Structure 1
Amino acid sequence: MKFNYDIRFGTFLRRPNRFIAHIDLDGTEVICHVPNTGRLRELLIPGAQVMLSHHPSPVRKTQFELRMVRKEENWISIDSQLPNTLAYEAIVHEVIEELKGYTTIKREVNYQNSRFDLQLIKEDPCLSDADNDVHTRNKNSSHNQKLIQTRNNICFVEIKNVTLETDGWSYFPDAPTERGRKHIDELIHAVRHGYRGVLLFVVQVENARGFTPNSTTDPAFSEKVKSAYEAGVDVLAYRCTVSTQEVTIIDKIPVKL
């Protein structure tokens, strides 16, 4: 994904709360929005070089958005909204090998009491339009059998944004996440009811060489990922190339559970 922002570079000063940060921009202190509620303690260190986008608007509370932080020689994208778009583009362009062959992609799809980031559908030409509709329900046994078969052609994808890296290994989460555990429970439920479920970690750290759940920060989440894998959920991690001009998913990296 190429950026079309008005880009500025500055120096991180402090982060008084999860939502804003103070940045030194050419000698002037500005306040910017932080599009990531994670702790980011290993990145947002006073003196760190950062990349901002400028959005002058009378309706915005801040005129700047914090997009990237430089860690040693690497830029790391912290935008937690970006991975959904990155994954969508990667699936469309068939970069993610495990998600090839689907004909329809839907975003933000409701399931049970939750919502998945993506729903992928592989249309079955042998079934009618009604049978291909996941929401169709009928008491007819033959129809219900077709519906069960159709569920195999439907994949729910939950996407997690990864920014934490140490010694080549990337980790998620960087703070305990009850919401993240709930999403995994819903994926497990979907798989047990005949759907395919994928937990996709999008690693916005170019020098990452592997991924593992952060058992130190959130052991319950780590155990939940293992349970999901054992239940049949596909657990994938894909790495991005990151520059100040663009961020793009490029390849799969090993997952250690």
Structure 2
Amino acid sequence: MKINIEGNKVEGVFQRRLNRFIGEVLIDDKLEITHIPNTGRMKDFLTNGANIILRKVNEPHRKTQYDLLMVYKDNTLINIDSKLPNNLLHKAFLNKDIEGFQQYDDIRREVTFGNSKFDFYLSNKKESVLVEAKCVTLVKENHLASFPDAPTDRGTKHILELIEAKKQGFRTAVFFIIQRDDANKFTPNQEMDEAFYKAVLLAKKVDVEFYAYTCHVTPNSLRLKNQLEIIL
């Protein structure tokens, strides 16, 4: 399953991050500013001198004319647009490409439960499912993907809400969509966020389901690739 990444793409060189959402880049030796569609830290690859792929945006109301889509780390291309994993997973659910989730015909996006909004609600005549998707860009040593790369109170809240939903009879699941193809295992990032890690352990005990998939990334497409073992 893959999605196409549309738009007028250009190559550049990353310079520095001005804040969470804005960065400076060089395009044809000209300094420009770009929107960064990911609030993660990405310190291991979003560095001065990194080769990048941007999309030119022709929208008069925008403060920036570019979106930063992808970053090269050595020979690995990493997608950083945090919206794309949800789009990819949505298409996979619609096409019934995810094993274990092929029996649902009602598929909705951004559904509220409790005090949280979840990415997907799936249902059939027998059961209802709440699904949260997380965009993963961090891969540590030994090809170990990990989330989060910055503390995430929101992520912890989602996990705790899924525990409550499970107690109320929902099937519940979290998908970690790894935006690169150089990982072979996944683990929650205990070093970065102990609370998130503990919430995952609690959720696992009550049978909240966890899945991790790598993606094959090209300048023009994003495709689900391999399901990974999750180490807790």
Q: Does 1:2 align with 2:20?
A: no
Q: Give the TM-score, by structure 1 length.
A: 0.87
- Matched position secondary structure for 1:106: strand
Amino acid of the residue matched to residue 78 of structure 1?
I
Inter-partner Cα distance in structure 1 for 2:200 and 2:133: 13
Identity of aligned residues (%): 40
1:200-211 superposed matches below 5 A: 200-211=175-186
Q: Does 1:223 align with 2:225?
A: no
- Matched position secondary structure for 2:174: strand
Runs of 5+ consecutive residues of structure 1 not aligned to the other structure: 125-149
Which protein has the larger Cα radius of gyration, Structure 1 or Structure 2? Answer: 1
- 1:98 Cα deviation from its structure 2 partner: 2.3
Equivalent of residue 163 in structure 1, options 130, 134, 137: 137
- Matched position secondary structure for 1:68: strand
Inter-partner Cα distance in structure 2 for 1:2 and 1:12: 24
- 1:28 Cα deviation from its structure 2 partner: 0.4
Counterpart of 1:175?
150
- 1:68 Cα deviation from its structure 2 partner: 0.4
Q: Give the total of aligned pairs.
A: 229
1:144-159 superposed matches below 5 A: 150=126, 153-159=127-133
Equivalent of residue 13 in structure 2, options 11, 14, 34: 11
Counterpart of 1:253?
228
Amino acid of the residue matched to residue 16 of structure 2?
R
Inter-partner Cα distance in structure 1 for 2:163 and 2:210: 12
- 1:90 Cα deviation from its structure 2 partner: 1.5
Q: Any runs of at least 4 consecutive aligned residues in structure 1 with deviations exceeding 4 A, and if so which?
A: none
- RMSD value, Cα: 0.9
Amino acid of the residue matched to residue 133 of structure 2?
I
Amino acid of the residue matched to residue 107 of structure 2?
I
Q: Give the TM-score, by structure 2 length.
A: 0.96
Q: Does 1:191 align with 2:193?
A: no
Amino acid of the residue matched to residue 138 of structure 2?
L
Bigger helix fraction: 1
Bigger strand fraction: 2
1:42-61 superposed matches below 5 A: 42-61=44-63
After superposition, the C-alpha distances for 1:106-144 in whole angstroms (9 at most, x for unaligned) are 00001111111000011x2xxxxxxxxxxxxxxxxxxxx
Amino acid of the residue matched to residue 164 of structure 1?
L
Amino acid of the residue matched to residue 23 of structure 2?
A
Q: 2:181 touches 2:225 (CA, 8 Å); kept in 1?
A: no
Inter-partner Cα distance in structure 2 for 1:104 and 1:248: 23
Indicate the larger mover: 87-96 or 160-169. 87-96
Inter-partner Cα distance in structure 2 for 1:59 and 1:13: 24
Q: Does 1:24 align with 2:21?
A: no
- 1:60 Cα deviation from its structure 2 partner: 0.5
Inter-partner Cα distance in structure 2 for 1:226 and 1:45: 33
Runs of 5+ consecutive residues of structure 2 not aligned to the other structure: none
